[in-house]
Amino acid sequence: MDEERKDIVAGIYIRVSTEDQAREGFSLGEQEEKLKALCDYKGYKIYRVYKDAGISAKDMEHRPEFQQMLKDMREKKINAIVAYKLDRVTRSVRDLEELISELEANKCYLICDRDDVNTSTANGRFFVRMLTVLSQLEIEIVSERTKFGLVGAIKQGHFPGKPPFGYKHVNKKLVIDHSTSWVVEKIFELYRNGLSFQKVANYLNDNAILGRTNWSDGNVEKIIDNKIYKGDYEQYKVDKTRESIIYVNVVDPIIPRYIWDECQDQKVKNQRTYSRNRNYIFFQKLICPHCGRIMKCKGSGAHDGKYMYYNCEFCRYNLNEAKVEKRFVQILTNLLRIDEEYNNYFLPIFAKNSKKPAVSDLSKEIADLSKQRERIKTAYTTRVIELEDLDESIKVINEKLTHLRYEQENNTILL
């Protein structure tokens, strides 16, 4: 190929993730230096060096420099992609097939120095596919080991991230923090005795617990809902797309299990009381402007509407009912004003210019009623109906005839 293609314009692609550099020492500088030397040796012209730093090779979509390189390839600015190893480019079999199709469509080659890869031949493309299958297998094995290790760590009381309120990390293990755990106990005690989330928060604020005056009903609800306080850990609780996994008795509990369960029962009682005491004007009528879901009703404190609001639990979006009602009244007032203006100013104009009812139609209806009146008279003379029935029927027909003759004379429609 080197003898046949002396007009190669190469895009050098280098990528490194934090894990790669720590494990194998693939620094961006080292890759760039070696690949420039390779291009110089092969006689390739270098168009540009594309660098993706700290990004995984799991997919091609979320690598900005890689996407720019593909764009330049489609615009015929480069006809070869030069990388240090194949796994710098991709570790996905699906992405590789897509990439090879793109390369073939744009008459571009992939050259990987360390793996001796060259897609200009059928054997080269087959070899690339085999390397990618092995690379993806490695990713899946590492992922399984990571999950297995995480489960083992959780069962040993080791939890990633920030410890929940009332706990702290000691030697990577979650243990009770007695300087704050007493607040958790107090919250459960107050809630168990019938106080709402907001009233518990009010108590904490009024007494400046831990020097804080910004406790909210959401803070209290989050603590009451957390299974960690009875010793259990719920994985994937926040991720609505995955089913949560519960690990039982993995940490020392702050709250006895029976108290935690009683507080969950108390939640149901509070919700029943709360639903009886408040009437929401826009119940199941408001839609979240972000996700389109029907918003839930929430409220706390006074019953005058001040603390009544609508909430989207997915987008964390809130609307105060008083503000919604005020806006609704404004819109309704505008609609009534428009309707009044229409009736006062435009309707008379439309009525004046509207098509007059045909005189012949009115005449026909009058004639039909006159014939009906004569038939009723005939029915009386032949003793089919009595005098009282005759008088009532004639009265009704005469009223209709008077009305129709008035319309006929004025040639208009009574609205």
Instruction: Answer with the residue of higher pLDDT: 310 or 342.
Output: 310
Contacts of 259 (CB under 8 A, 6+ apart): 188, 192
Instruction: Report the percent of the chain where pLDDT is more than 90.
Output: 16
The position carrying tokens 């004007």 is: 281
Question: By mean pLDDT, which of 18-27, 239-248, 276-285, 326-335 is the weakest?
Answer: 18-27
CA–CA separation, 119 and 102 (whole Å): 12
Tell me the C-alpha to C-alpha distance, in Å, between residue 170 and each of 231, 232, 253.
17, 18, 16
What's the whole-model pTM score?
A: 0.36
pLDDT given for residue 57 in this prediction: 58
Contacts of 154 (CB under 8 A, 6+ apart): 233, 235, 247, 250
Other beta carbons less than 10 A from residue 400's beta carbon: 14
pLDDT(412) > 60: no
Q: Under DSSP, is residue 160 helix (H, G, I), strand (E, B) or coil?
A: coil
Q: Mean pLDDT throughout 140-166?
A: 62
pLDDT given for residue 186 in this prediction: 93
- pLDDT bin (cut points 50, 70, 90) of residue 398 is confident
Q: Mean pLDDT throughout 45-66?
A: 83
Tens digits of residue pLDDT in 326-375: 888 888 888 888 877 777 776 666 665 555 555 567 788 888 888 888 87
Tens digits of residue pLDDT in 251-295: 888 989 888 888 888 887 776 554 445 677 777 788 888 888 888
φ/ψ of residue 112, rounded to 5: -115, 120
Residues catalogued as catalytic: 17
